[in-house]
Chain A
Amino acid sequence: MSEIKAKLKDFICSTLGVEEDVLEYDTELFGDGPIGLDSVDSLEIISFVDGEYGVEMTGVGKEHFVNIDAIAQYIDENK
């Protein structure tokens, strides 16, 4: 699962413009935190996960998008 987390982090930093040194696997991605991703970013993450792992996350609950750990766990359980 560490490979999934590393790929997610790489995508979030390179495509969504998040600085690598402020993003840990348990850092909150959305809301008023330091990262502050929005709904457009979530669609990009869903697209990346679908393309990379064939896992459909459209309509999946917010709790699975809280941080990289949560997204990776959902991918691991559903791929």
Chain B
Amino acid sequence: MMFINEINDKIGQRPPFQMIDRVEELIPNESAVGIKCVSVNEPHFMGHFPGTPIMPGVLIIEACAQLCSLVIECDKTDDKLYVLLKVDGFKFVKPVIPGDVLTISVKKTRAGGTIFGFDAEVKVGDRVHAKGSVLFTAIDRASVYER
């Protein structure tokens, strides 16, 4: 079990853009199960949508991506940054609404070169609400702002 203080030690995202509240299971470089508690207080619900708050699909993908980043073990001292490279075949089967507790499972499907690939599944209770695949790659931090 990993609580929010330990998650904060491992990822750089912070509120209101922190999408994993707790990690239930973690096998480094292999898989993880994480929890995201969806609250009506989250700022995007003001506009998405007024009167009918639904968690944006892109933020569900971001939650999956943040959990994947906890799975990838990397040397914190190096100059690399792991970033989302590709999102494949994501389906949003059922809307995610305030009060839902997302159980997010990610499993590494491939690694090679500078790429890590994961399959992700998002459930509320026993029902799948979203699923798809994400790819990450390592880039030089110094190159991020090169134009």
Chain A residues with CB under 8 Å of chain B are 40, 43-44, 46-52, 56-58
Q: Is B110 an interface residue (CB 8 A)?
A: yes
B90-129, CB < 8 A from A? 110-115, 117
Partner pick for B115 among A44, A52, A56, CB 8 A cutoff:
A44
Task: Kindly identify which residue among B86, B112, B117, B135 contacts A46, using a CB–CB cutoff of 8 Å.
Answer: B112
Is A47's CB under 8 angstroms from B114's CB? Answer: yes
Where chain A touches its partner, the secondary structure class is: helix
Q: Is the CB of A51 within 8 A of B112?
A: yes
Task: Count chain B residues whose beta carbon lies closer than 8 angstroms to a beta carbon of A.
Answer: 11
Asked whether, in the complex, the Cβ of A51 is within 8 Å of the Cβ of B110, the reply is: yes
A-contacting residues of B (Cβ < 8 Å)?
A: 85-86, 110-115, 117, 135, 137
Cα–Cα, bound, A48→B115 (Å)? 9
- How far, in angstroms, from A51 to B115 measured CA to CA in the complex? 10
B137, closest chain A residue (CB)? A43
Residue from the set B85, B113, B137 with the largest chain A CB neighbour count within 10 Å:
B113
Contact for B114 among A46, A49, A52, CB less than 8 A: A46
> Could you write out 14 A-B pairs with CB less than 8 Å apart?
A40-B86, A43-B85, A43-B137, A44-B115, A44-B135, A46-B114, A47-B110, A47-B112, A47-B114, A48-B112, A50-B112, A51-B110, A51-B111, A57-B113
